[in-house]
Chain A
């Protein structure tokens, strides 16, 4: 399989976390802006079939944020909100996050931007208060039928030890 265009890595380093990592050919400053300025957020967060009627960002520690993603086909809104707890431009952004339609979905997201040689590694850590909440978030995805391999299975089962080993797999 071609992995070159599919560079997002996922690992489950503990029972409470989901970690999503990807490299970008951009500066931490540009990426930090992409996460924190509504006009930029709107450009990449909603998928092409969705709209984003609300994108409020009060970027300061303790400041609230609220995004609403709308699926015009079904009329379903996905309201996400929380507040910022650490704003360290352009290295790190920490905020609480909840899906308002799902009570108990509260978790903490830490996004970090680490540059090396012109390439910035974005790492998003979703930290949940309980394993049920973490698993629910992971499973909240979609019924996308995807071909599975034992390789990915092994990645998952030994997720804590093999995050980097899995990356090396073609």
Chain B
């Protein structure tokens, strides 16, 4: 903060926040890139970024989020879709972090507790165990899919675990605990050889898949309050090692958000991120821009994906 780099980072974060605010749609939400079709992911990240900003922005954004919730408690991926998706987890975290947990949050939590990857059904578990030998994973350990009626994947499972942990921190039911444990077990089952996570599987046809920065960072957020097993430590080491060479905004921002909750030094990464985003104008993807601002402000505002212990 007291260095030139720190000042520059604050200037860039503020300028980028203004760019993001200017891109808010009349509906109150944000699209990914320039269209009028609001994305729930971009909107949630936008709300989290600008929480505490001008009242008008927050109010319009919240009204949009509330209006977008589906009757079953879930949120779609984008405006106009009628099917609930993984974005429900992100919306639930947004509702909690901005102190708006109410009946809206309860309905979202119930939807999340009911939703599961296809492996949640005994028939598909049996099929994965008996017929699908090309991919290595334990189908007894399942999580959440991106969209209904598909298999569990790392990122939606990680966001769902974070959201359920956050929303049940004071009052955790047996059902919530069971889904958290299943989700955590699933993430640990899918760790890549050498640490980190790919999108879902770690081995295909016996060959290890490489880890991805974003999936690894988000999976680690879900495991931040778990016992630090060798798998988690290996994944954290992988992410720290990889962080030195990340040159893309989205991956670097998630990397910072994750390393921060593990109390790893991130100032040098923030400085690089500030340089990459400049004043934010060249970052076309609003979800990426919002994530970058969250990462730059890490430590100065509530971390939206921190789980209280």
Q: Is the A/B pair a real complex?
A: no
